[in-house]
Amino acid sequence: MDSNKEHKKTIKGINPAFTKGSKLQKKQPLDITILANDIIAGNHTALSKGITLVESTVLKHQEQAQLLIEKCLAHANASIRIGITGVPGVGKSTFIESFGSYLTGIGKKVAVLAVDPSSSLSHGSILGDKTRMSELSQDKNAFIRPSASGDSLGGVARKTREAIILCEAAGFDTIIIETVGVGQSETVVHSMVDFFLLLKLAGAGDELQGIKRGIIEMADTIVINKADGKNERPARLAKTAFAKALHLYPPKDSSWTPKVSTCSALEHKGISEIWKDILSYKTLTQENGYFISKRHEQNTYWLLQTIENSLKENFYRDPVVKERLPILLEQLSKNTISPFIAARELLALRKNDH
Amino acid sequence: MDSNKEHKKTIKGINPAFTKGSKLQKKQPLDITILANDIIAGNHTALSKGITLVESTVLKHQEQAQLLIEKCLAHANASIRIGITGVPGVGKSTFIESFGSYLTGIGKKVAVLAVDPSSSLSHGSILGDKTRMSELSQDKNAFIRPSASGDSLGGVARKTREAIILCEAAGFDTIIIETVGVGQSETVVHSMVDFFLLLKLAGAGDELQGIKRGIIEMADTIVINKADGKNERPARLAKTAFAKALHLYPPKDSSWTPKVSTCSALEHKGISEIWKDILSYKTLTQENGYFISKRHEQNTYWLLQTIENSLKENFYRDPVVKERLPILLEQLSKNTISPFIAARELLALRKNDH
């Protein structure tokens, strides 16, 4: 640690890229070894810069980012990764602020990242503004980063997943990944976290209506937020309804029985109980081997996913494919061609093209 | 029609491939135009031969099969495609026998196909034996075909989907696709049918336990089979439990409210009611446009799926990839490489290889 600090002191003067916030300076060459060491030493500015590198679409930056991740990898992984989802209005920011502050209060280092596929369109619909979590954003043991933007959910997801590695290398032991629940974002977040938390509000009657398909099955815990004031009773009723519903689902591979609880993020009630549940989950799955096997599976999934996305992108980007595909889709909709014949034609076109 | 019959008469003598059952004769050249016409004329032997062609792994047969499908396409589609799933022991064969016989009794022409990814291993675990459906298999208005074998579920699915086209061209207006529920077979069957029927047995207590994730959400109707004798009361209770459970799910894109019913395939009770439900579904979705838009979506899905499977197959079949992938997976499990770096390396290896 001392040598790291020393190192930082020395380079501060000679590496201006380091001192100028998280923006990547065009003129000064970025020393990836120095940046990696600074991240590993826990420097937040360096971490921000690293994530900016990971998110950059510039080819050179992408190469540097891979080098950076390689250097950080050995220092990552000693963490719990928690996914948090819920519809807009459920109070995700307030919950994360309350939950995160509780965690830093008990000595945890908390990084908050987000997967928001809509943010590239709406210029940041979640976590775009740190004032949303004003307390946590000023906490020295917390690090909040808005969602990466990108032209595909896969792209946003890749960047978030690489950002996780950097955060872990920087010493953050609790990684919270927020999702807005647009499109397939929950599935993507689920595939990069250890524990998945679904935030809900008490409503009247059919509690499960309006929840996207499959979300309930992903949840390791369901937390009914805003259980305060006159909402307390409806929240308790909702808790019972969800507990019954969960009972209908098949057991999870993790052997974990999903929990349902109520909380008031506003009044900081029920927060410590949620953390206790997460710790119980961690203990159980570390003992039965699920925790580590799930991370391995996720890694393999991401390897194959990255390859397949790249193969598809290259294929559909091909000018001959671009020209022919809409014509075949038109024929397909008129039922004058079978999907298999159309596919064969496109594949053959591409082959001849190369 | 008359000209078709005339045509058949003429060629019967000169195309020996036609008369010799469904096996493809090696010596005699197969005239695809004749075969197509015979299929369209409703000849079961020709249909069998056509499906054998579709299922063949010989490259020349595959080319002939595509030609055949092209010729049959314009005559296909005027049908309802029904997927039927349920765990072994639920009585799928007896149900299909009873249901299919009811349908031919009211003037329908019924084709029964199967998707069984395990059949290539176990040499036909379902529909391998026509004696399973002894009555239906002797019915002139029914056509039963065992599951295609193949080394991948995708392969089996493609063959089944092409077989549907041939069956429809042969005048079958009701296509039943059976699945054993192994692996992802229900999802695959769901993506090729208009209506999805889940067959269940009454059990004690938690009716939904043991059902694979997502199956309930796919079902357009749940039928509790073997509702006879002392099973009648448990079946009624199960019906109530399922109806309640279904109520918890979000509404379907089709606007159809999934039904739950009981039946006794053995005693032929409740069968006509199931058919009525299917007709109601057809009317509803044809009126609201979902029926046709779902078929279009399925066609597009199969086009893209076929392309992507082919891209992946070619990639993973490449010797350089085959050699390097296990090494990278090993490094991945030791966390010494990130999935994205590993993917990039494999993609680069392949590119240099070409």
Task: Please give the Cα distance from B297 to B300 (Å, whole number).
Answer: 5
pLDDT for B284-330, tens place per residue? 999 999 999 999 999 999 899 889 888 988 899 899 999 999 999 99
pLDDT for A292-311, tens place per residue? 999 999 999 989 988 988 89
Domain boundary among B242, B262, B288: B288
Test the A interface: residue of B299, B313, B332 with most A CBs within 10 Å = B299
Task: Please give the Cα distance from B220 to B197 (Å, whole number).
Answer: 6
* pLDDT band for position B244 (cuts 50, 70, 90): confident
pLDDT for B51-69, tens place per residue? 999 998 888 898 899 899 9
Q: Judge if A253 and A343 occupy the same domain.
A: no
Predicted local distance difference test score (pLDDT) of residue A217:
81
> Does residue A71 belong to any structural domain of this protein?
no
* Nearest beta carbon to residue A303 from set B77, B250, B343: B343
Phi/psi for B77 (5° steps) reads 95, -25
* Residue found by looking up tokens 């075969």 in the block: B35
Contacts of A258 in chain B (CB under 8 A): none
Q: Judge if A323 and A347 occupy the same domain.
A: yes
Predicted local distance difference test score (pLDDT) of residue B204:
41
Q: Judge if B207 and B337 occupy the same domain.
A: no
Q: Judge if A164 and A225 occupy the same domain.
A: yes
Task: Please give the Cα distance from B263 to B270 (Å, whole number).
Answer: 4
Contacts of A317 (CB under 8 A, 6+ apart): none
Q: Which residue has the higher pLDDT, A206 or B115?
A: B115
Residue among A226, A224, A229 at smallest CA distance from A243:
A224
Test the B interface: residue of A335, A337, A347 with most B CBs within 10 Å = A335
Compute the nearest-CA separation of A130 from chain B (Å): 29
What DSSP assignment string belongs to A288-331?
SSHHHHHHHHHHHHHHHHHHHHHHHHHHHHSHHHHHHHHHHHHH
Q: Judge if A13 and A95 occupy the same domain.
A: no
Q: What is the mean pLDDT of chain A?
A: 83
Is A69–B302 a contact, with Cβ atoms under 8 angstroms apart?
no
Q: Judge if A216 and A308 occupy the same domain.
A: no
Over 50: is that where the pLDDT of A290 sits? yes
Q: Could you tell me if A84 and A200 are in contact, meaning their C-beta atoms sit under 8 angstroms apart?
A: no
> Does residue A67 belong to any structural domain of this protein?
no
For A309, nearest residue in chain B (alpha carbons): B308
* pLDDT band for position A9 (cuts 50, 70, 90): very low
Compute the nearest-CA separation of B263 from chain A (Å): 23
Phi/psi for A122 (5° steps) reads -90, 5
What would the two tokens of residue B77 be? 């589609």
* pLDDT band for position B137 (cuts 50, 70, 90): confident
Lowest-confidence region among A45-54, B35-44, B310-319: B310-319
> Does residue A297 belong to any structural domain of this protein?
no
Q: Could you tell me if A155 and A126 are in contact, meaning their C-beta atoms sit under 8 angstroms apart?
A: no
Q: Could you tell me if B202 and B90 are in contact, meaning their C-beta atoms sit under 8 angstroms apart?
A: no
Predicted local distance difference test score (pLDDT) of residue B119:
56
Q: How many domains does chain B have?
A: 3
Q: Judge if B176 and B214 occupy the same domain.
A: yes
Q: What is the mean pLDDT of chain B?
A: 83
Over 60: is that where the pLDDT of A22 sits? no
Q: Could you tell me if A328 and A337 are in contact, meaning their C-beta atoms sit under 8 angstroms apart?
A: yes
Which helix (H) or strand (E) is A114 found in, with range?
strand A110-115
Lowest-confidence region among A320-324, B278-282, B336-340: B336-340
pLDDT for B165-185, tens place per residue? 999 999 999 999 998 766 678
Q: Which residue has the higher pLDDT, A344 or B18?
A: A344
Domain boundary among A288, A312, A335: A288
> Does residue A64 belong to any structural domain of this protein?
no
Residue among B191, B154, B161 at smallest CA distance from B175:
B161
* Nearest beta carbon to residue A307 from set B66, B315, B338: B315
Over 60: is that where the pLDDT of A351 sits? yes
Phi/psi for B82 (5° steps) reads -115, 125
Q: 0.90 cut: is pTM over it?
A: no
* Nearest beta carbon to residue A213 from set B250, B299, B339: B250
Task: Please give the Cα distance from B89 to B19 (Å, whole number).
Answer: 38
Q: Highest-confidence range of A72-81, A83-92, A182-191, B291-300, by mean pLDDT?
A: B291-300
Report the side by side order of strands in the sheet with B174-179. B142-144, B110-115, B174-179, B80-85, B195-201, B221-225, B259-262
Predicted local distance difference test score (pLDDT) of residue A134:
82
* pLDDT band for position A216 (cuts 50, 70, 90): confident
> Does residue A50 belong to any structural domain of this protein?
no
Predicted local distance difference test score (pLDDT) of residue B31:
93
Q: Judge if B266 and B190 occupy the same domain.
A: yes
Test the B interface: residue of A63, A190, A248, A329 with most B CBs within 10 Å = A248
* pLDDT band for position B210 (cuts 50, 70, 90): low
Over 60: is that where the pLDDT of A20 sits? no
Task: Please give the Cα distance from B231 to A53 (Å, whole number).
Answer: 65
Over 70: is that where the pLDDT of B130 sits? no
pLDDT for A224-280, tens place per residue? 998 988 888 889 888 888 888 777 777 888 999 999 999 998 888 999 999 999 999
Q: Judge if A196 and A310 occupy the same domain.
A: no
- Across the range A134-161, mean pLDDT stands at 85
Contacts of A32 in chain B (CB under 8 A): none
Q: Judge if A87 and A206 occupy the same domain.
A: yes
> Does residue A162 belong to any structural domain of this protein?
yes
Domain boundary among A263, A288, A313: A288
Over 90: is that where the pLDDT of B11 sits? no
Compute the nearest-CA separation of A100 from chain B (Å): 27
Q: Which residue has the higher pLDDT, B161 or B150?
A: B161
- Dihedral sign, Cα of residue A40, residue A43, residue A46, residue A50: positive
Predicted local distance difference test score (pLDDT) of residue B213:
62
Compute the nearest-CA separation of A191 from chain B (Å): 13
Write out the residue range of the structural domain in which residue B344 sits.
Answer: 302-353
Helix intervals (H) in chain A: 2-14, 16-19, 32-40, 44-55, 59-73, 92-105, 119-122, 134-137, 153-169, 185-190, 215-218, 232-247, 271-287, 290-317, 319-333, 339-353
Compute the nearest-CA separation of B299 from chain A (Å): 6
* pLDDT band for position B342 (cuts 50, 70, 90): very high
Q: Judge if A119 and A225 occupy the same domain.
A: yes
Predicted local distance difference test score (pLDDT) of residue A266:
87
Over 80: is that where the pLDDT of B245 sits? no
What DSSP assignment string belongs to B19-66?
HSTTSPPSSSPP-HHHHHHHHHTT-HHHHHHHHHHHH---HHHHHHHH
> Does residue B332 belong to any structural domain of this protein?
yes
Q: Judge if A111 and A260 occupy the same domain.
A: yes
Report the side by side order of strands in the sheet with A259-262. A142-144, A110-115, A174-179, A80-85, A195-201, A221-225, A259-262
Lowest-confidence region among A179-183, A222-226, A238-242, B68-72: A179-183
Task: Please give the Cα distance from A351 to A179 (Å, whole number).
Answer: 40
> Does residue A332 belong to any structural domain of this protein?
yes
CATH number (domain holding residue B185): 3.40.50.300
Predicted local distance difference test score (pLDDT) of residue B263:
94
Predicted local distance difference test score (pLDDT) of residue A118:
66
Over 50: is that where the pLDDT of B79 sits? yes
* pLDDT band for position B3 (cuts 50, 70, 90): very low
* Nearest beta carbon to residue B311 from set A245, A312, A333: A312
Over 70: is that where the pLDDT of A24 sits? no
Predicted local distance difference test score (pLDDT) of residue A204:
41
Over 60: is that where the pLDDT of A178 sits? yes
Contacts of A73 in chain B (CB under 8 A): 335-338
* pLDDT band for position B164 (cuts 50, 70, 90): very high
Predicted local distance difference test score (pLDDT) of residue A238:
85
For A332, nearest residue in chain B (alpha carbons): B299
